[in-house]
C-alpha cells in the first residue's frame, strides 16, 4: 500500500518560531522542528553564540508552521521588530 501525497504531507514534522527570555532579560529568536531538543541545546551552550553569553530561561513565545520556510520568514520578521513590538507580540500570543 502506498501513501497518498496528502497523507505524506500530513506526516511532515511541523516547524516552530520561538522567542526565549534570557537571564539578562533579553530575547533570542529562532526556529526549529523540535522545541524541547532546541531549548536543551541552548541551555548546554551548543545552539547559538548569543545564548552561550546570555543563558536561556524559558520560551516566552512559540508559533507552529507547516514548513521550514514559513518558520524562517516569521523568525526574520520578529528579529526586525523593536523590543517594544516583541513584548507586544509576547503579551498577546505568548506562552
Query: What pLDDT, in 10s, does the model give residues 6-65?
Result: 445 556 899 999 999 999 999 999 999 999 999 999 999 999 999 999 999 999 999 999
Taking alpha carbons only, the member of 7, 16, 9, 8 closest to residue 68 is 16
Cell numbers 516569521: residue: 74
Cell numbers 529562532: residue: 30
Query: Whole-model pTM?
Result: 0.86
pLDDT score, position 47: 92
Strand, coil or helix: 27 = strand
Amino acid at each position: 500500500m502506498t501513501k497518498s501525497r496528502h497523507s505524506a504531507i500530513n506526516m511532515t514534522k511541523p516547524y516552530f518560531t520561538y522567542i526565549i527570555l534570557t537571564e539578562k532579560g533579553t530575547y533570542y529568536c529562532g526556529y526549529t522542528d523540535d522545541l524541547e531538543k532546541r531549548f536543551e541545546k541552548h541551555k548546554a551552550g551548543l545552539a547559538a553564540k548569543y545564548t552561550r553569553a546570555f543563558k536561556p530561561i524559558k520560551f516566552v513565545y512559540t508559533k507552529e508552521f507547516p514548513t521550514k520556510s514559513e518558520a524562517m520568514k516569521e523568525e526574520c520578521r520578529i528579529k526586525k521588530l523593536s523590543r517594544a513590538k516583541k513584548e507586544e507580540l509576547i503579551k498577546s500570543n505568548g506562552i
